[in-house]
Amino acid sequence: MIDRWRQFCLHRLPRTSTASCFIFLRPFSASHTLQAKKKKMPPKKAPAAEKKVLLGRPSNNLKIGIVGLPNVGKSSFFNVLSDTDLGKAANFPYATINPEEARIPVPDVRFDWLCDLYKPASRVPAFLTCIDIAGLTAGASTGAGLGNAFLSHVRAVDGIFQVVRAFDDAEVIHVEGDVDPLRDMEIIQTELRLKDIEWVEKHLDGLKRTGRSLGNNSLADKAKKEEIATVEKIYKALTVDGKDIRKCEWNNKEIEVVNSLTLLTAKPITYLVNLSEKDYVRKKNKWLAKIKGWIDAHNPGDPLIPFSVSLEERLAQLPDDERAEAQKEPGAQSALGKITQAGYSSLDLIRYFTCGPDEVRAWTIRKGTKAPQAAGVIHSDFENKFVCGEIMTYEDLKENGSESAVKAAGKLRQQGKPYEMVDGDIAYWKSG
C-alpha cells in the first residue's frame, strides 16, 4: 500500500518534492492512527438534567382546602385564619354545606423590611386562597353525608389543610362518639383513596375500550398506550401498594397523566392538630407522638403543626397591643402565620418583589417559573414583549442598604428568558 502511494506521488509531484513526499508518507502504526482520531474528536457534553415536572395544576393561582371530620374545629379555624365569620361554626355535623373562600395574607419579614425601606403608598403582600370545606365522614366516597358533593369540593382545591381533633370537650360532640385522632386520619385517608380508585377505574375502562383498535406505527397510538400503562400503574399504587399518589415516584410523562386526573391523594397535605389551649401552651398531649408516628408510617414527610383554635379565638378578640402582650407568655404564641406559610410552601409557591415609592408588592409564582412568565403575572404584555429583567436578591439589598449600592457592588444582574426565578428576588422588567 505504501509503495503504491510512493509511485502515485512520484508520478504527480515534481522531482524536487520527492524527498518531502517520502517523509510525508512515513508509515504510521494503527495505534498512532487511533490516537490521532481520538485527539480530533471534541469532548462529549454531559446531558442536561431533565427538569422535574411538579404535581398539580400548572398555575400561580392555587387554593388550599380545610378538610376533616365534622366538629374538629375546621370552620372556627377558618374564621380566625381569615379574620372573618364566614365559616359556619356549630356544635352539630354538616353546619357547613357550601364552601367558603378567603384570601389570607402570607406573613414575610422580607416584605415588612422592604416596606420600611421604601415607605410606599401601597403595600400588597402575597396571599393564600383558603377554602372551608364541609366535614367528611366514613362512607363519604359512596355518597354518605353528602359525601360526593363534599369530595368534589376537595377535588377543586390544590392542597389540603387536614384538621385533626386532639382535644377532649364533652360539650363538643364527635361524629364517631369519642376522640381518636388516628381513627379520624384513617377515615379521611380511606375516603380520599377510595374516591380516587373509583375515578381511576372509570377512566381506565374508557381508555381500554378506545384502545382496542390501537396499532403500533402511529405516534398517537403509542402515546395512548403509554397513557394506559401509566393509569394502570396509578391504579396499582392505590389498590395493591396502598399508597397515596403523591408518595409514589413518577417520571415527567407520568406526572402529566397524574395531573390530568386531578386525584385527591395527589394533593399535598399539611396536618393541623387542634389541641386544647392548656395542652398547646404546655406542649404536651397524649396523642401528638402517636399522630407523628402515624404520619411517618403512612405519609412520611408530610408536615405536622400543633395549634389551638381556642387560643387563636381568644387572641383574635384582643386589641393589637394586648394581643402582642398576651403572646409574650410562654407557649402562647399564635400558630396562624406558621400555618399560612406551610400551606403556601406545600403548593410549591414562591414570591418575588417589585419595589418603589408607589408600591411594594409580592407576586406569587410557582417554583421553576422562568423570567418571562414571572413578568407575565403583572401583565401579559410583559411576557409577550419580554426583553430582560434587572434582578437583585433581597439579601444583597439588605446587606448594601440601597439599590444604588447594590448596583455599585456589581450585584444587579440582567437576566434573560432562560432565567429561573428564585424566592425573594427583587425584579424590574424591561419589555418592548
User: pLDDT (tens digit, 9 = 90+) per residue, 352-366?
Assistant: 999 999 999 999 999
Alpha-carbon span 295 to 137, nearest angstrom: 20
Q: Residue 375: CB partners within 8 Å, gap ≥ 6?
A: 382, 383, 386, 389, 427, 429, 431
157-171 pLDDT per residue, tens? 999 999 999 999 888
pLDDT at 15 over 50: no
pLDDT at 376 over 60: yes
Q: What pLDDT was estimated at residue 149?
A: 78
The answer to whether the annotation marks 74 as part of a ligand binding site is yes
The answer to whether the annotation marks 224 as part of a ligand binding site is no
Q: Residue 21: CB partners within 8 Å, gap ≥ 6?
A: 6, 9, 10, 13
The answer to whether the annotation marks 76 as part of a ligand binding site is yes
Q: Name residue, grid cell 365522614.
A: 137
Under the banding of pLDDT at 50, 70 and 90, the label for residue 48 is low
Compute how many other C-beta atoms are within 10 angstroms of the C-beta atom of residue 27. 8
The answer to whether the annotation marks 82 as part of a ligand binding site is no
Q: What pTM did the predictor assign?
A: 0.84
Overall average pLDDT of the 4-19 stretch: 48
Under the banding of pLDDT at 50, 70 and 90, the label for residue 24 is very low
The answer to whether the annotation marks 275 as part of a ligand binding site is yes
pLDDT at 28 over 50: no
Under the banding of pLDDT at 50, 70 and 90, the label for residue 208 is confident
